[in-house]
């Protein structure tokens, strides 16, 4: 939750606690939060389970969307149209409705694991299996993405991939359970070279995260997307940073194509909200999570 602009703030505890001085002082710390989105409950258990439930539902939403996207790619259905139709169903809502390389961050994975453990500890094996499958599907989505990348680069010598984004999500330096970080580690197991760019990260922090591979000279951290793409055969977009999808994106990808090896690939792991057709016209082969490829036959 972003404490600057929360949709709701919830406290749980007995009525005596809620009226104690410590609670009132804590409330004063959140002086910018209006009273109409601050809720108190006289029992902490429903609050904790509700919080876990919200994050697990989001995790399940991601997993289901990635499954649907994989099927749509196989049958050559338009994923954007599918999401459009689903967007209009008020029971689902339009947010978090994009297939991607999996979910991460500080809450979704942790809370799904936790609720799985709660079900296990309370003798509910069938309920536990739901959460286990959500987590398994999340791992499968990443493996499928890496397999797609490696399949296109098979036979190439000195495979070099530009990595766009390293954080758990865009416009943040949070690395907690980052899908991008995990994809990088999976790629490095296959003897590729990575040139990483993330506008939010310092070079030393990324190198520290991948320290086992740094000594082999297979990880370079760059200061710009163009520098990352230089002499690379492919770009993997792993966070939806504005840097990679701004209004001048065609100009950016024109610059990238000029410094890359050819054939040149883009693997969109975040389903950026841009039209890839003008980029394909430059000579790129485009491959995205849960979509038919847009390519020139390579």
Structural domains counted in the chain: 3
For the chain, first and last CA: distance in Å? 42
Asked if residue 124 and residue 70 are part of one domain, the reply reads: yes
Q: Which residue has the higher pLDDT, 11 or 180?
A: 180
Instruction: Note whether 62 and 22 are within 8 A (CB).
Output: no
**Domain annotation covers residue 111:** yes
pTM tops 0.95, yes or no: no
**Domain annotation covers residue 2:** no
Domain that holds residue 275: 141-288
pLDDT, tens only, 107-128: 888 888 988 898 888 888 888 8
Asked if residue 199 and residue 106 are part of one domain, the reply reads: no
Asked if residue 281 and residue 157 are part of one domain, the reply reads: yes
Last residue of a domain, one of 140, 156, 174: 140
Asked if residue 233 and residue 188 are part of one domain, the reply reads: yes
pLDDT (0 to 100) of residue 259 = 97
Q: Which of 265, 258, 267 is nearest to 296 (CA)?
A: 265
Kindly list the distances between the CA atom of residue 66 and the CA atoms of 23, 100, 103, 106, 147, in Å, as whole numbers in the listed order. 42, 7, 10, 20, 15
SS3 (DSSP) at 7: coil
**Domain annotation covers residue 47:** no
96: left (phi over 0), alpha (psi -120 to 50) or beta: left
Kindly list the distances between the CA atom of residue 101 and the CA atoms of 7, 129, 169, 291, in Å, as whole numbers in the listed order. 26, 22, 11, 13
Helix crossing, 108-121 with 125-152: angle to 10°? 150
pLDDT (0 to 100) of residue 225 = 96
pLDDT, tens only, 175-207: 888 999 999 999 999 989 999 999 887 777 888
Q: Which helix (H) or strand (E) holds 160?
A: strand 160-164
Asked if residue 121 and residue 198 are part of one domain, the reply reads: no
Percent of the chain with pLDDT over 90: 35
70: pLDDT strictly greater than 60: yes
Asked if residue 13 and residue 23 are part of one domain, the reply reads: yes
Asked if residue 240 and residue 166 are part of one domain, the reply reads: yes
Asked if residue 120 and residue 34 are part of one domain, the reply reads: no
pLDDT, tens only, 204-246: 788 887 876 665 678 999 999 999 999 999 999 999 898 999 8
Asked if residue 261 and residue 194 are part of one domain, the reply reads: yes
């Amino acid at each position: 939750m972003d404490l600057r602009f929360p949709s709701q703030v919830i406290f749980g505890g007995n009525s005596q606690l809620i009226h104690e001085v410590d609670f009132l002082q804590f409330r004063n710390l959140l002086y910018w939060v209006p009273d109409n989105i601050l809720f108190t409950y006289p029992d902490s258990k429903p609050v904790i389970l509700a919080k876990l439930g919200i994050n697990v539902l989001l995790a399940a939403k991601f997993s289901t969307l990635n499954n649907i996207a994989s099927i749509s790619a196989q049958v050559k259905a338009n994923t954007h149209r599918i999401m459009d139709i689903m967007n209009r169903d008020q029971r689902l809502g339009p947010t978090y409705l994009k297939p991607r390389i999996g979910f991460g961050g500080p809450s979704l994975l942790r809370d799904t694991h936790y609720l799985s453990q709660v079900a296990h500890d309370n003798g509910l094996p069938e309920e536990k299996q739901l959460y286990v499958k959500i987590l398994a599907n999340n791992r499968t989505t990443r493996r499928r993405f890496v397999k797609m990348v490696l399949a296109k680069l098979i036979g190439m010598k000195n495979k070099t991939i530009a990595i766009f984004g390293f954080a758990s999500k865009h416009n943040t330096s949070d690395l907690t359970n980052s899908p991008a970080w995990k994809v990088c580690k999976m790629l490095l197991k296959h003897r590729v070279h990575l040139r990483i760019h993330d506008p939010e990260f310092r070079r030393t922090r990324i190198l520290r995260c991948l320290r086992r591979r740094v000594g082999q000279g297979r990880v370079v951290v760059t200061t710009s997307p163009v520098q990352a793409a230089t002499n690379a055969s492919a770009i993997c977009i792993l966070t939806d940073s504005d840097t990679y999808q701004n209004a001048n994106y065609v100009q950016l990808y024109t610059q990238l194509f000029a410094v890359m090896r050819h054939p040149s690939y883009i693997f969109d792991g975040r389903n950026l909200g841009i039209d890839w057709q003008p980029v394909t016209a430059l000579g790129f082969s485009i491959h995205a999570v849960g979509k038919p490829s847009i390519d020139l036959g390579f």
